[in-house]
Amino acid sequence: MAHRVEQGIGRFSKIHVCTPIDNRLNLYIIVHTVIQAKPAMSILNRPYFRDEEAAFAFLEGILWKDGTECPHCGVVGTAYKIAANPAKRVRYGLWKCKDCRKQFTCKVGTVFEHARIPLHKALQAAYLLCSSKKGISANQLSRALEITLKAAWFLAHRIREAMRELDFATQLGGEGKIVEADETYVGGKERNKHRSKRNNKHIGGVGKEMLFSLVERGGKVRSMHLPSVSADNLRPIMKAQIDAEKTRLMTDGEGQYRLVGSMFKSHQVVNHGIGEYVRGDVYTNTIEGYFSILKRGIAGVYHHVSGQHLKRYMAEFDFRYNNRSALGVEDFDRTLAALAGIKGKRLTYKAIDLG
Ligand SMILES: [Zn+2]
């Protein structure tokens, strides 16, 4: 009887088809050998990216570090698992609390609650969004996951919401630290919009949305969507977000920054107006580099971002920057960090479609 022996060599396998000549001595003769490329394995081939039961187990591991958490009564570790049974419409990932007798899954109380897309596809979407430097369009997500465009668009917003930091627990800057501050404009070209939607009020960023960002050099970024960047607007924000007394602030020469500069340990300015960009360690290249990633992403991938959704796109770019390779966070850990952020947040069509 023919016998197959597989031998791996790099990206290929040699398959020897053999015939036994002596069973006692375990001797075979090779009849012929086939060399073929090994099937390519991808990260998206991992069980939790393709199997619903495994997807729930994976997410439970991220969200329930100390055991199951009943969202109804808050008791930890006493729930028991109810086996999924699609024929009887018993959902995947279902648990029953021994205390309050109510059922739940780990999606309750998160941005994935009420999402009808299979969880393993939602996890794939999270990985794709976390691993693409400039983001991934709803169109591309829809094709990759084989879901409708509308479902892909909404799923991406759920994940962006998970990436959003709700309260900034720590301040940027500190002893020996430098924070760069700047503003930029993003959004569609005014001449492409319908006359009634054009906005001619703001000079400089006509019809565009204004972003204000703070970047700690070698550290994290925080971006905000502001109606304007007057000194009165900026002062309370910078006071809350930066450990000002210990931090060196670096900006361009615009007036509002000169007005808020006095609350910092020092305030140094690069004067772009006279062609100056770097003077020793005085520069704003870090924040300009960040804006260029953000603007290429928003213009190239997302094309147009309305003011209403901008905070979630900013959260997405801030999140990837704050969990970047240079800080030791690779694609997979970045995905885990995003998924840990789904907790305690909700997103409904009503909340994001209107307004
Ligand atoms: Zn309970």
CA atoms within 13 A on the CB side of 154: 20
**89: which residues sit within 8 A by CB, 6+ positions away?**
none
Tokens of 287: 């924040």
CA of 36 to the centre of ligand 1 (A): 54
Residue identified by tokens 């007394």 is 245
pLDDT, residue 39, reads: 66
pLDDT of residue 266 exceeding 60:
yes
25 pLDDT band, cuts 50/70/90, is: confident
Confidence of residue 355 (pLDDT cuts 50, 70, 90): very low
- pLDDT at site 188: 57
- Long-range (24+ apart) CB contacts under 8 A made by 289-297 are 290/213, 290/215, 290/221, 290/317, 290/321, 291/182, 291/184, 291/211, 291/213, 293/133, 293/134, 293/317, 293/321, 294/184, 294/186, 294/211, 294/223, 295/184, 295/186, 296/134, 297/133, 297/134, 297/135
Mean pLDDT across the chain: 88
If you measure from the C-alpha of residue 39 to the centroid of ligand 1, how many angstroms do you get, rounded to a whole number? 46
Per-residue confidence (pLDDT) for residue 324, from 0 to 100: 95
Q: What is the 83 CA–ligand 1 centroid distance (Å)?
A: 18
Instruction: Find the 60 Cα to ligand 1 centroid distance in Å.
Output: 16
CA of 2 to the centre of ligand 1 (A): 59
Burial of 171 (0-12, 13-18, 19+ CB in 10 A): middle
Residue 89 CA to ligand 1 centre (angstroms): 22
Q: What pLDDT was estimated at residue 214? A: 97
Residue 184 Cα to ligand 1 middle (Å): 48
Dist. CA 106 → ligand 1 center (Å): 13
Tell me the CA–centroid distance for residue 75 and ligand 1, in Å. Answer: 6
Cα-to-centroid distance, 104 and ligand 1 (Å): 9
Asked whether the beta carbons of 133 and 293 are under 8 A apart, the reply is: yes
Of 4-13, 80-89, 265-274, 308-317, minimum mean pLDDT range: 4-13
Q: Is the pLDDT of residue 261 over 60?
A: yes
Residue range 33-42: average pLDDT?
Answer: 76
List the Cα angle 43/152/345 in 5-degree steps.
90
Rounded Cα distance between 104 and 340, Å, is 18
Instruction: Indicate the pTM of the whole model.
Output: 0.82
Tens digits of residue pLDDT in 70-93? 999 999 999 999 999 989 888 999
Q: In angstroms, what is the span from residue 92 Cα to ligand 1's centroid?
A: 18
Q: Above 70 in pLDDT, residue 125?
A: yes
Q: Which of 153-167, 205-219, 264-278, 296-310 has the lowest mean pLDDT?
A: 296-310
CA 163–ligand 1 middle distance (angstroms)? 28
Q: How far is ligand 1, taken at its centre, from the CA of residue 103, in Å?
A: 8
Tokens of 1: 């009887």
Residue 242 CA: distances (Å) to CA of 83, 249, 308, 335: 50, 10, 26, 27
Give the model's pLDDT for residue 32.
84
What is the 122 CA–ligand 1 centroid distance (Å)?
26
* Contact yes or no for 306/317 (Cβ under 8 A): no
Four-residue CA torsion sign, 4, 8, 9, 11: positive
User: Residue 61 C-alpha to ligand 1 middle, in angstroms?
Assistant: 19
In the predicted model, is pLDDT for residue 40 greater than 70? no
112 C-alpha to center of ligand 1: Å?
Answer: 20
Ligand 1 mean position, distance from CA 99 (Å): 5
